[in-house]
Amino acid sequence: MTRQIVLDTETTGLSAEGGDRIIEIGCVELIGRKLTGNNLHTYLNPERDSHEDALKVHGISNDFLRDKPKFAEVAQDFLRYVEGAEIIIHNAAFDVGFLDKELQRLGQPAFENFVESVTDTLVMAKQLYPGKRNSLDALCDRLGVDNSGRTLHGALLDAELLADVYINLTRGQEALLIDLGDVSQPGAAVVRADLRGIELPVLHASEAEQAAHAAVLAEIDKASGGRTVWRAQESTL
């Protein structure tokens, strides 16, 4: 079963290349599209102060971070946690760029070398909702995900919200996965029937069925005084 990690970071600013650093990493684990509770969350000492604009976004003070571990101290635990998983990030280029820079400082290869793949929910959202706002907050509002507790950005909270957003964005992909059995009953067996690989035959209506259908439509049209929608459409063709 696919292991997915929803990941978010907070940083001292917007430019990894310009020397900005990661100050917080938040990850939540999904297995079988369900939260497991096996989360990873850590604050980091970035060895520099956050920009004023960044402080307004995340509210994590420089003093709070001074006694926190440096990225080098948590890197191996972090890499073991994400190893081989599909990573889900909103605006992945930003977070992966920062992770790559932190790993580069340690002489490590790029982040994507440690994971199965990286899925960008911002790219997915732009494809589903072209021309609309697709920030995390906008997607929460659109998809009915409760983000009322998000007054400031926080990596773990944002990862939890993004997990809900991702499940909603991809719900159609699981529409043909059917659970049989009541898991609330002790010892109940659950059978998953995956119907996605089945090619359903197309059964065309017979001439008699088509004639019967036309007769019903004619009766409805007659009862409406010839004002049915399909008649109006036919007249414009």
Higher pLDDT, 82 or 237: 82
- The segment(s) of the chain belonging to CATH 3.30.420.10 are 3-178
Q: What DSSP string describes 114-162?
A: TSSEEEEHHHHHHHHSTTS--SHHHHHHHHT---TT-SS--HHHHHHHH
At 198 the pLDDT is 63
Q: Is the pLDDT of residue 181 over 50?
A: no
Q: Is the whole model's pTM more than 0.85, yes or no?
A: no
Of the options 3.40.50.300, 1.20.90.10, 3.30.420.10, 3.40.430.10, the CATH number for the domain spanning 3-178? 3.30.420.10
Q: Is the pLDDT of residue 176 over 70?
A: no
How far from 108 is each of 99, 111, 119, 128, 233, CA to CA, in Å? 11, 8, 22, 36, 64
At 216 the pLDDT is 79
At 208 the pLDDT is 84
Q: Is the pLDDT of residue 179 over 90?
A: no
In whole angstroms, give the CA distance from residue 165 to residue 121: 9
Q: Is the pLDDT of residue 140 over 60?
A: yes
- Mean pLDDT, all residues of the chain: 86
* Catalytic-labelled residue, pool 41, 153, 204, 213: 153
In whole angstroms, give the CA distance from residue 160 to residue 91: 15
Taken as a whole, the chain contains a residue count of: 237
At 178 the pLDDT is 42
Q: Is the pLDDT of residue 177 over 80?
A: no
Taking the chain, what is the end-to-end CA distance rounded to the nearest angstrom? Answer: 51
83 Cβ neighbours under 8 A, 6+ residues apart: 114, 115
In whole angstroms, give the CA distance from residue 148 to residue 141: 10
pLDDT over 70, % of the chain: 82
Distance of CA 202 to the CA centre of its chain: 34
The predicted model gives 107-130 an average pLDDT of 97
* Cα three-residue angle 57-41-19, rounded to 5 degrees: 50
Instruction: Of 121-135, 139-153, 167-181, give the range with the top mean pLDDT.
Output: 121-135
Higher pLDDT, 184 or 221: 221
The predicted model gives 185-197 an average pLDDT of 54
Per-position b or e across 188-220, b if 16+ CB within 10 A of its CB? eeeeeeeeeeeeeeeeeeeeeeeeeeeeeeeee
Distance of CA 176 to the CA centre of its chain: 19
The model's pLDDT over 210-234, given as tens digits with 9 standing for 90+, comes to 888 888 788 787 777 777 776 666 6
Q: For this structure, is 90 an active site residue?
A: no
In whole angstroms, give the CA distance from residue 144 to residue 155: 20
In whole angstroms, give the CA distance from residue 82 to residue 85: 6
Q: Is the pLDDT of residue 46 over 90?
A: yes
